[in-house]
Each structure stands twice: as C-alpha cells, then as structure tokens.
Amino acid sequence: MNRTPRPPRNQRLEATVSAIFRRLVLPGGMALLLALAITVPAIARDAEPVPPGSPVTVVSYYFGNYHPGDPRNIKTKGANWSEWELVKNARPRFPGHQQPHVPLWGYQDESDPTVMAGKISAAADYGLTAFIFDWYYYDDGPFLDRPIDNGFLKAPNNTRLKFAFMWANHDWVDLHPYHRGGKREILYPGRVKPENFTIICDHLIRDYFSHPSYWRIKGKPYFSFYDLEKLLSNFGSVAATRAALDDFRARAVAAGLPGLHLNAVVWGRTILPGEQTPADPAKLVHDLGFDSVTSYVWVHHAALPKLQTGYNLARDEYFDYWSHAATNFGVPYIPNVTMGWDPSPRADQRDAYGDFGYPFSNTITNNSPENFRVALERARQRLLAETNGLRILNLNCWNEWTEGSYLEPDTVHGLAYLDAVKKVFGGNEEAAQK
C-alpha cells in the first residue's frame, strides 16, 4: 500500500484517555503521525461470548501489485512493470541493512490463476483461513483487481481459502520509486462521489459477496474500510456517511445476503468534514455503526525511534495499544501481528536514506522467524484468554515485499515465517471450508 507512519513514542494508555496516532495521508502516500490526548467515553455494546474451545481464525492482508498488465500501471510505468521491479532494484542503504529480499518462488505473476493456486495452497496448508485483499476502486473505476478477478477467482482450488476485501480508499501517490524532495503527485484520489459509492456497493454485492469463498463472520460478508477520514469526505458528514453505510447493508439484504459485517481500520486521528479538531474514534465507530475495528500494521500504533528499531520493542508497544483497543471501541477488536517494516525499496536507490518521510523511514530489524513466532504465540494466548470477541487475528502481510512485511518465502529464510504460523495455529483446512 501507499503509506507511512512516523509516530512519536507511544505510551501506556489509560482506560479513558488515549494517545492516538494517526497517519495523515498526504500527497505521495507520505504519512504524518500526530499524537494527541483525547477523552474517549466507553460506549456499551453487547458482545457475544466466545464458545469454549473456539480456535483462532488467522487471516492475512494481501497487496496485489506484483503482476504486469494493470491498465493504470501500463499508462504510468509501462507494459511490463510491476512492483517486483522495486524489489529487484533494492540495495542495502545503511550498515546491517538486509536488502534486497529475493522471493524463493521467483518474481511471479499473481494474476495467473496457476500461480495464485500455489499461493492458495501454501496459505491453507500453513494455517490461514483467508486473504484480505487490499482492494482499490476510484471514481473512474478499479485498480489492481487482476490478482483477484483473474488470479484468485479463476484458481482451480479457490475453495481451499476464503477471500475478503479491505477497501484501500486512500489517495494513490506516484512513489514507485520516490525521489527525495520530488513532487508527490496524487494519481488517483481516494475520495469518491456518493453516486459512485452506490455503484461500488452494487459491484461488491453482485460480483464478490455471494461467491462461495467470500469470507463471512457469523454468516455476513466481511468488508473493511482503511481510511475513515476519506470515507467521511465522500458524503460530508457523519450522518450522511452512516446513511450510505446503512444503504449498503440494505442493498446486501435485498440481494439475498443476511447483512454485512462492516469493519473499520482505526489508527488515531480523524478530522470530520468542516471540523478542525479530531473526532473521538470510539464515538465515530459507534455513530457509523461499524461491527468491528482492526489495525493494518504495527507502525500505525508503535513508534520506531531508531533507523533500525528492534522487532520486540515494536511488538510490545503495539500490544499496549491492543490492550486499549480491546476495551475502548464498544465493538470487537481484531488484533494484528506484523512480520516486519522496511519501505526502502520504494525510496529512490540513488538518495541517501534516513527518517525523512515515507518511504524514507525507520525500519524494524531483528524480525527473525523465531521472534515472529513468539509474537504469534503471545497473540494466540491473549485471544484464547478473551471471553468476548471474535478470536480472529490478522497478519501483515502475505506479500508487502516493498514494505518489508511478507509471509511468502525468500531465499534467506525459506518457509520459516509460514512455518511459524503453522507451529502456533496448526493447519487450517477445516476452517477454510466453513
């Protein structure tokens, strides 16, 4: 995805006051993280008890820019370009920096259903239930949909793994790669017109939500929104946005679905249309009627104070945030475990590297397979100890190669990260069939 955080150091959070970190999406995907203390009143909402013995469902985000032939990429980058080019060209930028990362399976075309079938088999064999695709749709149509429409949906084994969408409704900025100091040109604005939102909803319901492999929570198709501020800007107010989401649900029911499970990716500071001060995140989630809240990546909530910040430090800060989020929103919180963070492949390799603003940002180091396994085990124990909630864990990421967070095997660690998932959670063939 196009993003980066640069948060101040996180602090342990109290029950009624939170230090909220918000990546303010700026041109070029650059993110500015601001810290503020705001009062967050608890909003009571009943949560169903988790049945005893329920396993943890493990899902992974999937970023689909590793294939040639996308019409938008052809126009801006050329016919054969994909983000693999940035992976191939990456170089060490500072002492101890591990680049390039070389995929063990090669630089595959994920839009090929045979290639995607291999990914599906690996994901199911090693314990995943679903891919949550970073899904892009703008006023003028879709982007990066070929891995879904041509890859996943045409794969002969797509019954083995579920799929769902997180609408990556942020501005898409030209930073592949980004030259430090250059213009951050917005190629595709994340804001859409209300009438196009309706078109998008109908497209999702008609072409995806009824697919037998679309992932559901308690029978309802799961759909997540990445950028709440951009969502609100589509309609101009909380009330109008809630009405649009209610209409989305009603359209799903009218099409024969039992409803929708709408999820919000919440990471800090959202400015409402026409306002200057940030909204209360918990109240916003309540007012918009979301069914759950989640996170995309640890660095939305954990500071990286050094160019090479230790994995366990980032883990501990994120787990502090998890403790807060689990009780703050009044709806279930779906936690995250992140494999790593290093967006340097997106930074022009000719430029000096440092913490100058995305994709020039501090990195997570020592994210060994063993440290990843420990984080997974701690997450599993916490989820199993919860008596209310969903017992779902999302992972970042199946293939964020240009941000240094991927489960796919590389030539250094092989299948070790997938092995860690399987060791902690076991294979998930039975769950994938549900």
Residue 11 domain-assigned? no
Residue 3 counted as domain residue: no
Phi, psi dihedral angles at 86 (to 5 degrees): -70, -35
Contact criterion met (CB below 8 Å) for 90 and 122: no
Task: Give the pLDDT of the chain (434 residues) as one tens digit per residue.
Answer: 876 443 333 333 322 223 333 333 333 333 333 333 333 334 334 456 666 557 999 999 999 999 999 999 999 999 999 999 999 999 999 999 999 999 999 999 999 999 999 999 999 999 999 999 999 999 999 999 999 999 999 999 999 999 999 999 999 999 999 999 999 999 999 999 999 999 999 999 999 999 999 999 999 999 999 999 999 999 999 999 999 999 999 999 999 999 999 999 998 677 778 777 788 999 999 999 999 999 999 999 999 999 999 999 999 999 999 999 999 999 999 999 999 999 999 999 999 999 999 999 999 999 999 999 999 999 999 999 988 789 999 999 999 999 999 999 999 999 999 999 999 999 755 444 34
The answer as to whether 304 is a domain residue is yes
Residue 370, in any domain of the structure: yes
pTM value > 0.95: no
Count of C-beta atoms within a 10 Å radius of residue 9: 11
Q: Which residues contact 279 (CB under 8 A, 6 or more apart)?
A: 270, 271, 272
What residue spans of 40-187 are helical by DSSP H? 71-77, 84-89, 113-125, 146
Q: Are strands 220-225 and 261-265 parallel, antiparallel or unpaired?
A: parallel
So what's the pLDDT on residue 152?
99
Residues 6+ apart with CB under 8 A from 420: 369, 370, 372, 373, 376
- CA 159 to CA 431: how far, in whole Å? 11
* pLDDT value of position 415: 98
Report the alpha-carbon distance of residue 392 to residue 164 in Å, rounded.
Answer: 14
How far apart CA 163 and CA 376 sit, in angstroms, is: 21
Q: Which residues pair with 19 in a beta bridge?
A: 37
Tell me whether residue 9 is in a domain: no
Residue 331 within a domain: yes
Residue 7 in domain: no
Are 431 and 129 in contact, with CB atoms under 8 Å apart? yes
Give, rounded to a whole angstrom, the gap between the first and last alpha carbons of the chain.
29
Query: Is residue 12 a part of any domain in this protein?
Result: no
pLDDT at 273: 80
Containing structural domain, residue 174: 17-432
Q: What local confidence, expressed as pLDDT, does residue 3 receive? A: 60
- Domain count along the chain: 1
Question: What CATH number did the domain enclosing 81 receive?
Answer: 3.20.20.80
Which of 393, 417, 419 lies closest to 129, judged by CA? Answer: 393
* C-beta separation of 301 from 318 below 8 A: yes
